[in-house]
Homo-oligomer: A and B are copies of this chain.
Amino acid sequence: MHRVKVRVVEDALDANNTIARANRDDFDRHGVTVLNVMSAPGAGKTTILERVLREGLGDLRVGVLEGDVQGSLDADRLAHLHIPVTQLNTGNGFGGECHLDANMVRSALPAIPLEDIDLLIVENVGNLVCPAEFRLGEDARIMVASVAEGDDKPGKYPLMFRACELVVVNKIDLLGHVDFDMDRFDYHLDAVHPGVARMRVSARTGEGLDELRGWLAALPDRAAAPAG
């Protein structure tokens, strides 16, 4: 049984990469930079987006693609921002998948006004395993970790912390109330992704969000720059 299973996964990942490249072509044609935001459930992705996008990102026109197993609780929370928000449910025709894949994103493209936005932020399904395996055609990936989850998470879910350009440590306002040692977190993180960029923020108090806002605002220029 095991060998068959591995073969299926590999085929699925091959197909995924093919479709991710097609998504990438569509994004490029419209000049849209795409960010994939990943985290465990409840790490604060939506609250961060809410706080960061409330003031906008300068001249950048931003859209959001909300990935959830079902429902639209997160999309509803972003409605007041008056930016294009598209809901993508993995439970609806996709069998309740625990992650977004390139084909799901592709099915949502007709509902996203690509011609009216410069930056598309994709909020992935809350999960620390599978989202890392499925490229969507994005330019960059952010991993959000909450201090309430503990400082050992990079060691337990290494692929996730490796498959990103930025690690955002959220809920630092709780640092006095939870058993979380930032040095130990950094130690675990550097073991799986040495020197990866990291920021410490509190979506609740707003601490650190200006730095994140700057990182996001500069993303289209960074994505357009030739690699190397």
Which residues does A use to contact B, with CB under 8 Å?
Answer: 1-2, 5-6, 8-9, 12, 15, 40-42, 68-71, 73-74, 93-98, 103, 125-130, 133, 146, 148-150, 152-153, 155-159, 171, 173-174, 177-179, 204
Contact = CB atoms under 8 A, between A and B. Distances in A.
Nearest to A93: B2
A94 B41 contact: no
Nearest to A188: B73
Given A74-B156, A126-B157, 15 more contacts: A1-B103, A2-B93, A40-B41, A68-B156, A69-B157, A69-B158, A73-B152, A98-B129, A125-B129, A126-B156, A127-B127, A146-B148, A171-B178, A173-B177, A174-B178
A162 to B, nearest CB: 12
B15 A73 contact: no
Given A68-B156, A96-B159, A155-B71, A177 B174 contact: yes
In the complex, the count of this chain's copies comes to 2
5 contacts: A69-B158, A69-B159, A126-B156, A127-B129, A173-B177
A52 to B, nearest CB: 17
Contact of A70 (B5, B70, B156, B179): B156
Contact of A41 (B8, B69, B97, B128): B128
